[in-house]
Structure 1
């Protein structure tokens, strides 16, 4: 896939390299040999401009020796250019070749040896420290907004791991301070690399419902107790997403429809729902376990906020249901609380 890279004022296209590593290294070696060959040829043709302080004669072996020493070091002085043309060639051609060859070898060593070793060491270190983190599969519009909201709510970006196939998306996530991994989240090995079994939750929005459901299924069999939130765009895919193991299924299109319908009966309903969902609103929704001192009391008597729902087991009950008249140990309370200042 071709992906555009944007710079100030213009856009360039990139394509993932398909050349094997050994071919890339081979081309670099051949290019260096070609530069050395040019220098040897010119030195041999202009050997009259060189002087050997030992025997006074400059043989072809002397030319090879002088060229290689001049390119790799500054020379030993046993063979030296004596004519103006030879000195100019060494100063203006051989010296840049020396710098270029050194940079080429250093860059090759960094790209194919040091960088891979460094990246592997860093990944091992990050993996070792990954515990109770949040895995985000896909970094499109929905998930990038979710990550921004998590950070705004106080989540440390170092506790977030982004998995995406697109390099540009990972660059944006990395600038936020998140951990990133370029890979396919539908593969077991990819999710194992981000230590999915030690994560506290996962957010899935892959852009396609079938891909999101497959990611959910893969994550569920690797982490049976993981909380997984997934977005689907088609209403008939909500059930397959839950069957795949999603804890929470969100349909942005359906939710937007609810907001639009609510706005028809009152101008403030949609605004209030957005206020509840956003970190910068005046109030916020909070989910927590019932406190021991609240057991036996009605939901309306809690002092921490306005109770709107309880979950007893897997069953939801509103504040108006009989079950809300007496809280029990193990109940989960959903309440509206003032925004933290």
Structure 2
């Protein structure tokens, strides 16, 4: 139990910074030196307006010294502006430059020191308050496509949490705007860290069937009610995945086979099947519960779309079966609706 608690504390969420660290640092340094350069150039061309307490002529080294001391402090008094023009320049140009340079230095210190502490604290707060998010375990080909499809369908990337052990995969997920966490999703602590019990769905695509099934088993034990979808590559393992607790088992090879087989029986069958599955299609499949106004009516009479199936007490009934002649409370309807209506629903 102690090792599990320690493991739990080692998992931290993170999100991509909007500006790369190196670009932010270069921009700040360039801006600071640019403003100092302006002050240096004006002081050099107007060096006759400066006087040293020793009475010696003003050299370039003296101008450089005076500029840096004036920009970073209020000066030491060994070199002072004596003409009205030089004093006005120091008042209305050098003083604002001094303030801006200090703000840049303070902002840089915050961004590269304090901000790390702040971001870690903010991620911990987000981690504690995760709710209604989608957890994606595995950011390979299928996992990345699932994340991209969720975003295309209007999901906020901040509501997607990706778990993976690959640093490159996590960087790619961060690039999509998702919240990421490095970890092994087969471990209780990793799934607890992303609040699997508060998630709206879990998508499992670990790349290996045995790993994916183990993730499903772990997640189902921690959250008996979370909807779990898993990618299984071997048909022999599909039943095992269902037994492990997966609600939806998807076999990419089988789905591709369906499209290929459908294309041999009609030129537009495969196109329509892909149209239903993709966010860019003209129509979409929609799952919802029956409304109070629809209770007692036929599945064929619903007005929101074309009713295809109903799920009642764990059983599935097609639109042609007698059970579809009368909808009852608690039925789940599968319908085909226009794509625009899908995202408005």
Q: TM-score range by the shorter chain?
A: 0.5 to 0.7
Deviation at 1:336, TM superposition (A): 0.4
The reply to whether residue 220 of structure 1 matches residue 220 of structure 2 is yes
Structure-2 residue corresponding to 1:234: 234
The reply to whether residue 181 of structure 1 matches residue 184 of structure 2 is no
Tell me, which stretches of 5 or more residues in structure 1 are unaligned?
Answer: 1-105
Give SS of 1:265's match.
coil
Answer 1 or 2: higher relative contact order, Cα 8 Å, separation at least 6: 2
Give SS of 1:202's match.
strand
| Alpha-carbon distance between aligned partners in 1 of 2:304 and 2:114, rounded to the nearest angstrom | 55
TM-score (normalised: structure 1): 0.66
Deviation at 1:254, TM superposition (A): 0.9
The reply to whether residue 160 of structure 1 matches residue 154 of structure 2 is no
Give CA deviations for 1:80-123 in whole Å, capped at 9, x if unaligned.
Answer: xxxxxxxxxxxxxxxxxxxxxxxxxx99xx99x96874554233
Pairs within 5 Å for 1:134-213? 134-213=134-213
Give SS of 2:264's match.
helix
| Alpha-carbon distance between aligned partners in 1 of 2:145 and 2:310, rounded to the nearest angstrom | 28
| Alpha-carbon distance between aligned partners in 2 of 1:307 and 1:196, rounded to the nearest angstrom | 32
| Alpha-carbon distance between aligned partners in 2 of 1:284 and 1:114, rounded to the nearest angstrom | 47
| Alpha-carbon distance between aligned partners in 1 of 2:339 and 2:123, rounded to the nearest angstrom | 37
Q: Which structure 1 residue ranges, 4+ long, deviate > 4 Å from structure 2? A: 113-119
TM-score (normalised: structure 2): 0.65
| Alpha-carbon distance between aligned partners in 1 of 2:120 and 2:243, rounded to the nearest angstrom | 36
Deviates more, 1:115-124 or 1:164-173: 115-124
Structure-2 residue corresponding to 1:339: 339
The reply to whether residue 303 of structure 1 matches residue 303 of structure 2 is yes
| Alpha-carbon distance between aligned partners in 2 of 1:191 and 1:115, rounded to the nearest angstrom | 27
| Alpha-carbon distance between aligned partners in 2 of 1:114 and 1:282, rounded to the nearest angstrom | 49
| Alpha-carbon distance between aligned partners in 1 of 2:322 and 2:311, rounded to the nearest angstrom | 13
Deviation at 1:283, TM superposition (A): 0.6
Pairs within 5 Å for 1:52-91? none
| Alpha-carbon distance between aligned partners in 2 of 1:285 and 1:183, rounded to the nearest angstrom | 33
Structure-1 residue corresponding to 2:52: none
The reply to whether residue 244 of structure 1 matches residue 265 of structure 2 is no
The reply to whether residue 129 of structure 1 matches residue 141 of structure 2 is no
The reply to whether residue 321 of structure 1 matches residue 316 of structure 2 is no
Give SS of 1:340's match.
helix
Deviation at 1:168, TM superposition (A): 0.7
Give SS of 1:309's match.
strand
| Alpha-carbon distance between aligned partners in 1 of 2:153 and 2:305, rounded to the nearest angstrom | 18
Structure-1 residue corresponding to 2:270: 270
| Alpha-carbon distance between aligned partners in 2 of 1:305 and 1:279, rounded to the nearest angstrom | 17
Give CA deviations for 1:44-67 in whole Å, capped at 9, x if unaligned.
Answer: xxxxxxxxxxxxxxxxxxxxxxxx
Structure-2 residue corresponding to 1:45: none
Deviation at 1:313, TM superposition (A): 1.7
Give CA deviations for 1:138-182 in whole Å, capped at 9, x if unaligned.
Answer: 001111111111111111011000000001111111111111000
Deviates more, 1:323-332 or 1:122-131: 122-131
Q: How many residues are treated as equivalent by the alignment?
A: 233
Deviation at 1:129, TM superposition (A): 2.8
